[in-house]
Amino acid sequence: MDNAADDAARSTYFRKTDRFHITHVLRFFAPKTCFFCGKKAIGPGADHGLVKGFFQFLKGLPPGRLIALGFAAVILLGTFLLLLPVSIKSDMEVGFVDALFTSTSAVCVTGLIAIDTADHFTAFGQIVVALLIQIGGLGVTSVGVGFILAAGKRVSIKGRLIVKEALNIDSSKGIIRLVKVVLLTTLCFELAGAMLSFIVFVQDFPPLKALAISVFHSIAAFNNSGFDILGGMQNLIPYQSNVLLNLTTCGLILFGGLGFLVILDIIKNRSFRKLCLHSKVVITTSAALLLIGTILLKVTEDITWLGAFFHSVSARTAGFSTYTIGEFSNGGLFTLILLMFIGASPGSTGGGIKTSTFFVLLQSVKSLVTKTHFCAFRRSISQTGISKAYIITFLSLLVVCCGTFLLCILEPEFSFIQLLFEVTSAFGTVGLSTGITPDLGAVSKIAMVLIMFIGRLGAFTLASMWVIRPEPTVRYTEESITIG
């Protein structure tokens, strides 16, 4: 009798609420207003007390914290999707930790893998990984703004501030136009990369599969993520002598690692002299690192000049490999560690401390030693910028050191250089590995997940977003201390 009464009550409720099919689900997820467009959310969920309070709390958070939460939410969503039966091949098993690791590696555009993407995931699962890489490379906020614009809505002031913070630019002026250009530029580069890659892959695979591999590879390469769907944990080793694929991959990595602001500056001015200081610093530092890295890898390893060039490019946060990294000498591994730690450029799809930070460090040391004024390309750099470069480097070293120390305790069977390489690769969102990633324990993989997350958002950004900065009311007497 009680069950019949319950069914009758439930039936009456559903007749009164015609829109149950979607709005009652959205009740648990929809905010009262959208962060980006400021419009009222869909459905009655806006009146739900707890949900309303939660989203009011989110709206009160500064942009930096919202970005971090956005990345975390996408990672968890990706983990859930990768655990669905439709994502996993029937003869394979994927645990929660491995799914979380894969999702984090994709969203943080790293490329480290605990399980092979092609061997364990179906076509649907591989599409999920590709979408996570794309969202992670462009940024959660840029993708969100893209959907808002596609729907014909206006982006709110709060949304513009979030995008400004995510793209690491100084002004929100013209931010919507910039997002449009970023999305269009990404599409053009990835289409070009897919077409060139297809010429290579169609020789070894059926046309449809070759097209899928080409699109996936182009997305992964431009977003500086070393994922592949060739299978067998081989990455690009079968194509180590293929000049077209090597150069296409390097081109995608380099343009993705320069940063959208630099690409737009190059397109607009078309002359090195007319470029802004940021672009000049990024281009010269990237070129110098590429040249030095190529020479050092050729000297330390028995590989071709093409292989040395490829790995010098890839180590700057991409993670593709045409040779077995586990067979490299300590000198070669240390060269890659340095390149991975420096990373790509600000506003790009890559990680690391960034080329501009490394440039400022070198120039500041030079000015201190020579006792000259700090300048670059006939421009002065503020003391605030110099201090920020040192802070970023210190915090990054701290993360790498702590992560390596933790893995040394958890994984004593591996050598120090292997663990240092693995942690630096995770922090720099690179994806290169000596081959030990699948053999790490569950706790170590979770530690690597945290390191990848910190590396994608930046140690300085994560630290600064939780620090309260009270206005200084007192300045103390200055006194020197002995240093060095």
Q: Is the pLDDT of residue 44 over 70?
A: no
At 379 the three-state DSSP class reads strand
Determine phi and psi for 379, rounding to 5 degrees. Answer: -135, 140
Burial classification of residue 458, based on how many CB atoms lie within 10 Å of its CB (0-12 exposed, 13-18 middle, 19 or more buried): buried
Contact assessment for residue 177 and residue 164, using Cβ atoms and an 8 Å cutoff: no
pLDDT of 161 reads 61
State the pLDDT confidence band at 77, using cuts at 50, 70 and 90: very high
Tell me the per-residue pLDDT of 121-165, one tens digit each, with 9 for 90 and over. 999 999 999 999 999 888 755 665 555 555 555 656 656 665 555
Spatial CA neighbour of 379 closest among 275, 262, 289, 287: 275
Amino acid symbol at 202? V
Spatial CA neighbour of 355 closest among 276, 258, 429, 424: 258
Burial string for 81-108 (b: 16+ CB within 10 Å, else e) reads: bbbeeebbeeeeebeebbbbbbbbbbbb
Q: Is the pLDDT of residue 278 over 60?
A: yes
pTM of this prediction exceeds 0.95: no
Q: Residue 105 and residue 71: Cα distance in Å, rounded?
A: 12
Q: Is the pLDDT of residue 106 over 50?
A: yes
Tell me the per-residue pLDDT of 335-387, one tens digit each, with 9 for 90 and over. 999 999 999 888 777 889 999 999 999 988 888 888 777 777 878 888 888 88
Amino acid symbol at 119? D
Spatial CA neighbour of 343 closest among 232, 245, 398, 425: 425
Tell me the per-residue pLDDT of 187-222, one tens digit each, with 9 for 90 and over. 999 999 999 999 999 999 999 999 999 999 999 999
Q: Is 377 left (phi over 0), alpha (psi -120 to 50) or beta?
A: left
At 88 the three-state DSSP class reads strand
Q: Is the pLDDT of residue 469 over 80?
A: no
Q: Is 472 left (phi over 0), alpha (psi -120 to 50) or beta?
A: beta
Contact assessment for residue 331 and residue 300, using Cβ atoms and an 8 Å cutoff: yes
Q: Are strands 375-376 and 379-380 parallel, antiparallel or unpaired?
A: antiparallel
Half-sphere exposure for 44 (CA within 13 Å, toward CB): 9
pLDDT of 1 reads 46
Q: What is the average pLDDT across 7-23?
A: 42
pLDDT of 22 reads 36
Q: Which residues contact 242 (CB under 8 A, 6 or more apart)?
A: 200
Beta bridge partners of 121: 88
Sequence ranges of the domains in the chain: 33-463
pLDDT of 467 reads 60
State the pLDDT confidence band at 268, using cuts at 50, 70 and 90: confident
pLDDT of 71 reads 86
At 408 the three-state DSSP class reads helix
Contact assessment for residue 455 and residue 426, using Cβ atoms and an 8 Å cutoff: yes
Q: Residue 126 and residue 132: Cα distance in Å, rounded?
A: 10
CA distances from 79 to 212, 360, 385, 432 (A): 22, 38, 38, 22
The position carrying tokens 């905010």 is: 31
Determine phi and psi for 225, rounding to 5 degrees. Answer: -120, 125
The position carrying tokens 């007497």 is: 477
Instruction: Return the HEC string of 110-151.
Output: CCCCCCCHHHHECHHHHHHHHHHHHHHHHCHHHHHHHHHHHC
